[in-house]
Amino acid sequence: MPLEIVRNDITKMSVDAIVNAANTTLLGGGGVDGAIHRAAGPQLLEECRKLHGCRTGEAKITCGYHLPCRYVIHTAGPIWQDGHHGERELLTSCYRNSLELADKYHCESVAFPLISSGVYGYPKAQALKVAMDTITQFLLDHDMTVYIVVFSKDAFEVSSKLFKDIEAYIDDVYVDEHLSAPRESMRMRLQSRYLGKAKAYDAAPEPEARSTPILAPQALLDDMLNQVDESFAQMLIRMIDEKHMTDAQCYKRANVDRRLFNKIKNIPDYKPSKQTALAFAIALELSLNETKDMLMKAGFALSHSSKADIVVEYCIMTGNYDIMEINQILFKLDLQPLGY
């Protein structure tokens, strides 16, 4: 998945490069900076001394030493004042310059902390938005896997109204079906057992009378096999054309990487994961029925037994096709994100 939000300690990320939320001296500090220096060992500071600092919004690179990454990219984020002192532009530069440096060093995977959102006081939700927007923009013309590593889910104050609406919707749909329906069916089973009619609910239907001829000659089966429906890949390509999108626009909007997209396109019977199928439905802005159709072609269904499905259903019904926003909601609810 090109852009993924994960909850982890950034010093544990096995990627080509991790980004350090440093200060302009590059001589270490607290927070992520302190954790990175501790995990990398003293050689990191030795190399940093030779870099002669780093201006706010710029980025410099060193080796990773004892860290499980090849490089550390150090960037100095802006200190939050009131949002009217160029903080957003400077923070955007931090991400942009770090990504460009990573690309220059042929990094295929990079992990970022939420720069400036700790000691430097940048409001977490806004810091996350800058990170997501800048990284998404960069990924439009670069193939790279980028992780935003967060320590806590507090960063996800995003659209708290939307989040509340979704939680209410989950309560309505999920809780209703999971509590009321089973309780009702259990009540009926108990009642029927009590009345000696449990068989009516539990037993499999009786087979048809044996005298009925078996109507499945080879010709009928062949005929049915010749009428196999449009495949997932065929529907995907058709919808991309109908929506006047390019392949790249579609898989980038779906947060799916190019290799996986090509695999789906070139292997006619390829069955994507449910998260991938849903990601394409979102990227193509399909209606709920079209989404169900597309999922079915990959062998899945939208189910009210799954909270993740309810979230996606809610987003489709309310016209929210922003995959990053949907993934933030899924992340906050500890559910698997869309894409891959």
Neighbouring-strand partners of residue 63 = 71
Regarding 313 and contact with ligand AR6 (CB under 6 A), the answer is no
Rg (C-alpha) for the chain, rounded Å, is 26
Shorter beta-carbon distance to ligand AR6: residue 120 or 280 = 120
Regarding 339 and contact with ligand AR6 (CB under 6 A), the answer is no
Regarding 173 and contact with ligand AR6 (CB under 6 A), the answer is no
Among 280, 287, 340, smallest CA distance to 317 is for 287
DSSP label of 227: T
Regarding 153 and contact with ligand AR6 (CB under 6 A), the answer is no
CB of 156 to ligand AR6, least distance (A): 12
CB of 113 to ligand AR6, least distance (A): 4
Shorter beta-carbon distance to ligand AR6: residue 95 or 314 = 95
CB of 91 to ligand AR6, least distance (A): 9
Q: How far apart are CA 70 and CA 16, in angstroms?
A: 5
Shorter beta-carbon distance to ligand AR6: residue 155 or 279 = 155
Q: How far apart are CA 110 and CA 138, in angstroms?
A: 13
- Strand blocks (E) in the chain: 3-7, 17-22, 59-63, 71-76, 109-112, 145-150
42: which residues sit within 8 A by CB, 6+ positions away? none
Residue 33 annotated to the active site: yes
CB of 269 to ligand AR6, least distance (A): 41
Exactly one of 1, 5, 17, 32 binds ligand AR6 (CB under 6 A); which one? 32
Regarding 29 and contact with ligand AR6 (CB under 6 A), the answer is yes
Regarding 322 and contact with ligand AR6 (CB under 6 A), the answer is no
Q: What phi and psi, each to the nearest 5 degrees, are found at residue 118?
A: -105, -110
Shorter beta-carbon distance to ligand AR6: residue 14 or 318 = 14
Helix, strand, coil % over all residues of the chain, rounded to 5: 50, 10, 40
Q: Find the part of the chain contacting ligand AR6 (CB under 6 A) among 29-37, 186-194, 256-264, 326-334.
A: 29-37
Regarding 120 and contact with ligand AR6 (CB under 6 A), the answer is yes
41: which residues sit within 8 A by CB, 6+ positions away? 65, 66
CB of 307 to ligand AR6, least distance (A): 26
Q: Find the part of the chain contacting ligand AR6 (CB under 6 A) among 9-17, 81-89, 182-190, 231-239.
A: 9-17
Regarding 116 and contact with ligand AR6 (CB under 6 A), the answer is yes
SS3 56: strand
Exactly one of 15, 44, 115, 130 binds ligand AR6 (CB under 6 A); which one? 115
Give the end-to-end CA distance of the chain in Å, rounded to a whole number: 4
Shorter beta-carbon distance to ligand AR6: residue 7 or 243 = 7
Report strand pairing: 109-112 vs 17-22: parallel
Tokens of 273: 């994961």
# residues contacting ligand AR6 (CB under 6 A)? 23
Q: How far apart are CA 315 and CA 242, in angstroms?
A: 22
Regarding 92 and contact with ligand AR6 (CB under 6 A), the answer is no
| Contacts with ligand AR6, residue ranges (CB under 6 A) | 9-11, 21-23, 29-33, 35, 77, 113-120, 149, 151
What residues act catalytically?
Answer: 33
